[in-house]
Every structure is written in C-alpha cells, then in structure tokens.
Chain A
C-alpha cells in the first residue's frame, strides 16, 4: 500500500503546488531507491555513489540558495526535502544537510565571487561533494577554543590541526574548515589532494551507518591564499551554517518519526496476541496516540519556523527549540515504536531500530540536546551557563 505520511492537522493544504510536487519527487525516490537498499548500505557501511548522483540530478542540493545553479526554493520546500530524505534514513538527510547548509551556504554567503562560481554550480549538481570541519577531538560543544590554526606564510596559508566527526569527509572533494588565523576563527576551503591534507574514515559506528564519518587531518597543509572565505570572522561563520542545518534537522526528525509511527501502526494492526490485534489494547493505543500528538506538534513547529525563515523574522533560539524538540520526540517515538514491535522491532525488516540508532547521533550533532537547552536558558534569563567563566 502507498506510504501515507501522518498529517493529522492537514499541513499538506498549507503547501504550494510546487512544494507538494518537490516533496513527492523526493518521497518517490526514497521509496524506490533508498528503502530497498538502505539495510545493505548500513551493513556495508557505505553511502552508495548512485545516491549522490540521483540527489544531484533531482536538483535539491543547496535548496534555499539562489543563483550559481542553486534551486532557490522556499525554506518550507527545503524542510520537506529533509523530511522525506530522513524518512528514508538520517544518513541520507545528513549528506544533503552537510552539502547544502554547511558547505554550499558558507561559500554562497561568505565566499568571493570566484569561489562561488568555482564551487556552487558543481556542488548543486552533486558533481562535487563537500564536508564541514568545525568539531575537533577535544572541542565539540565548545568550538570557540578550537586548536586548528592557520598561518599566513605570504604566498599561502599553512593549516595544522585535526577535525573529527566529519560527515562526508572521506568522499569529499572539498572541505570548509574553520581554523584560527592570528587567534580569530576564519573559514578556509581545502581541496582533496591539497598537500598535507588527509581524511581517514572513522569506523565502528552503531549509528548513521550508511553515512561516511571521518577525521580531517592537516599536517603542514598548504593552501592558496584565495581559499579563505573573505566575508566572515569569528564563530558567526560556523554558527550561521549550523542554523540552516538545524532547521533542516527539525523537519528531518519529523520524517524519521513518521516512518516509525507508520511501522508501529501497521504492526499493531496486524500482530495478534490473546486473540486480538495488539492495536486494540489500550496500552498500545496510548502509545500510538502519544506518537500522533508529538509528531503533529513537531510538524507545526517546523512548518511555522519555515515561514519565519522565509520572511526573515526568525531568531536562532527558535531553531534551537525546533531542533531539540523534534529530535527528542522522534527518538522517543523510535524507541516506543521498537517497543510496540516487540522482538521483531530489533530486526532490519522494520526501519525502527535503525532510525532509533540514527537519532541518537542526531540528538548529539548540530548542537547537543543539552546545549540547545542552555541556549534557551540564556534566552530566557539573560544569563549564559555554558561556561564557569564570567
């Protein structure tokens, strides 16, 4: 039977025709290409190259960016794309988030004209893959104290340091790397093959198994002078990228939750215990109704935030709330759905345990759940509590 995404409050009726069409193209692609192959990809720990090519061909990368071969869609359309990709798998959505929000966006907003011309059209078509180097082994939630540094050597910049937990790292053709130049955080574009740059893959993940995660190592890495992003200094650079990616995640989490809800509903209706479908038992209905309630709230948060992104009235704290809430509810729904599936829930025949394991990463990356709470705490009280320093 056709996949019917949960839409209890008829968000569908608020979308434009193009938004619905774009969503359906991505939804059908996920149905045809991701769902039949995702378990194999996870088992092998690969992100199949055909997926990159297809995503590029659909023209959904860098969705809200305008010009330079980018689609120029609404933030709602971008959110819907993330929702459908993550209904397939968080790893697939991660690929698109990193490419669009974390690499294309900073080049588009802070890059020179030459950098935009050089990279954006080929990234929008999926020909070039990008990765984003901010987190370091010892600096995750606290990127401001990063160690990676750049030195101006006259003819070139010299990069030294290491980044960790970098999605797409090993398969990337270019990396936007944040490093300190004379103590100030700046963005640099490092290309695959640059002297002194390697990107070994991190193995052994129990989560996002169909997504490539890597270290980026810079050992006297020489890059030409025209590879610095000229128009941004300080943490504002990486944080503005993260705002866009986190917005996409707030929609993506809805997709993962819809997938888990659907699977739980179908399973509960067909699984007979004590002579009746388990969907007829009150405890199971309570769980399903909780899922419906949380997904509906999450959809409304994401939809309204999309409108605010489009009209420019948003503040970063609103993105923190949506990312934190929606990933939290999606993870809880994945766990609950696994519970409804009983022992069957641990099998790869059902998507729930995979979503559950993925969402553990999604809860932590792009600002941990706790850090988003602190961002909101600061917003409410005016008192920052990230650090003991005044």
Chain B
C-alpha cells in the first residue's frame, strides 16, 4: 500500500506580500515554503511510512520553483517525487483537482494526505474535490492518523470532543494543525534527497481532459491599511479610554 501526500508551495507566512498592477508580485516574495497544513500531512505520511506503508509519494503542482517542496519532502523520507509542471498563475479549483487526481492515480496510492486548506488561497477544496473525483472517502481536519491492520484510524476535533474515525479502503485525509512536532531535515537527508529524481510531468502528458474553467481570477488588491493608533495622555482621558475599550474594542 502506498501513501500520497499533496504539497502546495505558498509564500512563507512571514513573507511580505505586495501587489503590483492587479496581481501579487511574486518576484518580490523572498521565501516560499510548503503550506503549513500540508507540513502536518507530510509529517503524518512519514509516520505512516515508518509504521509499514510501502511507499511515500510526494506530489506537487506548480511552477519550477515548487520542486523545492518535493526535495524537502525527500529529505525527510519521501520515496517518490511527482511534479506536475505548470506556469499558470491561477488555476480553477476543479482543474487542479482533476490534475492532482490523475497524478494520484499514476502513483497508485489509495491513501492520500493533504492540508485542510492552503495558506495562500484558504479555499479548502482540494482534499474533498480530489476524493470526489477519485471516488475515495474523505475525512477532514484530522490531527493524527495511524495504521491499524488494513484500516486507518484518524483523530479529529468534533463539536463535543475528539472523534476517532476508522476508515477501510481508499481515503483522502485533510490535516489540521496538531500537537505533533514536525521533524527537521538533517544533512544526511538533504544529501540523499539531492540524488532522488523528480518525475516532472506536463499537464498535457497526463492525458486527461480539462474542461474550460468555471472561475477565473480578476485581480488582487492589498487589504486596506490599518487606521493609525490613537494616543491618550493624562488622567483626564480615562473616561474616554474606558468607553472606547468597552464600546469599540469590546475588551472590557
């Protein structure tokens, strides 16, 4: 049995984002990282591999720079790396799901892990969308999974407490941030990763039909600037500060 982990490369959560024209200026982004929820998926995928899964396949879809995600995954234990290359600056969710589903089929994996949403778009549609196209079950927002014979049990936060869910058969799990500590690659892993080939595949090579996208990106705009802070001095301003804290900030 193989496990696939879907990794998306996003601007690092600490990177400065600027908009130029009507698009985010990617050239000004100095650091790209694996989307944080995907990192939890990767961590769990490595743990599954350690508990006996045959193969861990890391899959990404994006421009050339996104291959760094795969090398990072290889440095912590991914066995096979699949990169669906595209230079599209925006991809309709349905299109992306078709592409990823096809890549997963190619990998032969019936367990798929990914983040519950990506840090840049926050759309949260990839996991469920892929599951629906592949006809797999989907368990969302899990924090832990473990192998139990041929079944996988997953833990997630339900509305009354922790839920334990057991799944048999092909399934997509989407990951929330859990308590688990992410492992850091070491030098040995990095040197091994450099030797691992990346299967780079163009979208046209996947042999799938992609319908015309239903959604398209019109423009990016920067969020409005925060209004400047207000300053109050002296005992005379106590009343107004109290009223602002109570009525505007709602903190007292």
On A, residues with C-beta under 8 Å from B are: 1-2, 4, 17-18, 21-22, 25, 28-29, 57-60, 63, 71-73
Interface residue from B14, B187, B188, B190 paired with A2 (Cβ < 8 Å): B14
On B, residues with C-beta under 8 Å from A are: 12, 14-16, 30-31, 68, 71-72, 75, 184-191, 193-194
Instruction: Tell me the complex Cα distance, A323–B16, Å.
Output: 35
CB atoms of B15 and A58 under 8 A apart: no
A121 to chain B, nearest CB (A): 12
CB atoms of B71 and A25 under 8 A apart: no
CB atoms of B184 and A2 under 8 A apart: no
B194: chain A residues at CB < 8 Å are 17-18
Instruction: Tell me the complex Cα distance, A57–B187, Å.
Output: 9
CB atoms of A18 and B191 under 8 A apart: yes
CB atoms of A29 and B12 under 8 A apart: no
CB atoms of A1 and B185 under 8 A apart: no
CB atoms of B30 and A58 under 8 A apart: no
CB-nearest residue of chain B to A61: B187
Interface residue from A4, A17, A22 paired with B187 (Cβ < 8 Å): A22
Interface residue from B15, B16, B188 paired with A71 (Cβ < 8 Å): B188
CB atoms of A59 and B187 under 8 A apart: yes
CB-nearest residue of chain B to A28: B184
CB atoms of A1 and B16 under 8 A apart: yes
CB-nearest residue of chain B to A54: B184
A17: chain B residues at CB < 8 Å are 68, 71, 194
CB atoms of A58 and B186 under 8 A apart: yes
CB atoms of A59 and B12 under 8 A apart: no
A63: chain B residues at CB < 8 Å are 187
- Seed contacts A2-B14, A21-B72; 13 additional CB < 8 Å A-B pairs: A1-B14, A2-B30, A18-B190, A18-B194, A21-B71, A21-B185, A21-B193, A22-B187, A25-B185, A57-B184, A60-B187, A71-B188, A73-B191
Interface residue from A4, A59, A60, A73 paired with B30 (Cβ < 8 Å): A4
B interface SS class: helix
CB-nearest residue of chain A to B189: A59
A53 to chain B, nearest CB (A): 12
Q: List 14 A-B contacts (CB under 8 A).
A: A1-B14, A2-B30, A17-B68, A17-B71, A18-B190, A18-B191, A21-B190, A22-B190, A25-B186, A29-B184, A58-B186, A59-B187, A60-B187, A73-B191
Q: Given A29-B184, A58-B186, A58-B187, does the pair A21, B75 have CB atoms closer than 8 Å?
A: yes
A58: chain B residues at CB < 8 Å are 184, 186-187
CB atoms of A25 and B184 under 8 A apart: yes
CB-nearest residue of chain B to A72: B191
B13 to chain A, nearest CB (A): 9
CB atoms of B31 and A2 under 8 A apart: yes
Instruction: Tell me the complex Cα distance, A58–B185, Å.
Output: 7
B153 to chain A, nearest CB (A): 29
A25: chain B residues at CB < 8 Å are 184-187, 190
CB atoms of B12 and A2 under 8 A apart: yes
A27 to chain B, nearest CB (A): 10
B184: chain A residues at CB < 8 Å are 25, 28-29, 57-58
B58 to chain A, nearest CB (A): 15
Instruction: Tell me the complex Cα distance, A313–B183, Å.
Output: 38
Q: Given A21-B75, A25-B184, A25-B185, does the pair A71, B31 have CB atoms closer than 8 Å?
A: no
CB atoms of B186 and A57 under 8 A apart: yes
B186: chain A residues at CB < 8 Å are 25, 57-59
A80 to chain B, nearest CB (A): 11
B188: chain A residues at CB < 8 Å are 59, 71
Instruction: Tell me the complex Cα distance, A258–B146, Å.
Output: 44
B30: chain A residues at CB < 8 Å are 2, 4
A1: chain B residues at CB < 8 Å are 14, 16
B189: chain A residues at CB < 8 Å are 59
Instruction: Tell me the complex Cα distance, A29–B184, Å.
Output: 8
B72: chain A residues at CB < 8 Å are 21
B12 to chain A, nearest CB (A): 6
A57: chain B residues at CB < 8 Å are 184, 186
A22: chain B residues at CB < 8 Å are 187, 190
B68: chain A residues at CB < 8 Å are 17
B187: chain A residues at CB < 8 Å are 22, 25, 58-60, 63, 71, 73
B16: chain A residues at CB < 8 Å are 1
B31: chain A residues at CB < 8 Å are 2
B143 to chain A, nearest CB (A): 21
Please give me the 10 A-B residue pairs with the lowest Cβ-Cβ distance, nearest first: A2-B14, A59-B187, A59-B186, A71-B187, A21-B190, A59-B188, A58-B186, A18-B194, A18-B190, A2-B31
CB-nearest residue of chain A to B12: A2
B31 to chain A, nearest CB (A): 6
Q: Which of B12, B68, B71, B190 has the most CB of A within 10 A?
A: B190
CB atoms of B191 and A2 under 8 A apart: no
Instruction: Tell me the complex Cα distance, A73–B186, Å.
Output: 12
Instruction: Tell me the complex Cα distance, A1–B68, Å.
Output: 22
A134 to chain B, nearest CB (A): 28
A4: chain B residues at CB < 8 Å are 30
A60: chain B residues at CB < 8 Å are 187
A69 to chain B, nearest CB (A): 9
A2: chain B residues at CB < 8 Å are 12, 14-15, 30-31
Instruction: Tell me the complex Cα distance, A1–B13, Å.
Output: 9
B181 to chain A, nearest CB (A): 11
B70 to chain A, nearest CB (A): 12
A59: chain B residues at CB < 8 Å are 186-189
Instruction: Tell me the complex Cα distance, A17–B196, Å.
Output: 13
A158 to chain B, nearest CB (A): 40
CB atoms of B191 and A71 under 8 A apart: yes
B71: chain A residues at CB < 8 Å are 17, 21
Instruction: Tell me the complex Cα distance, A58–B68, Å.
Output: 19
A72: chain B residues at CB < 8 Å are 191
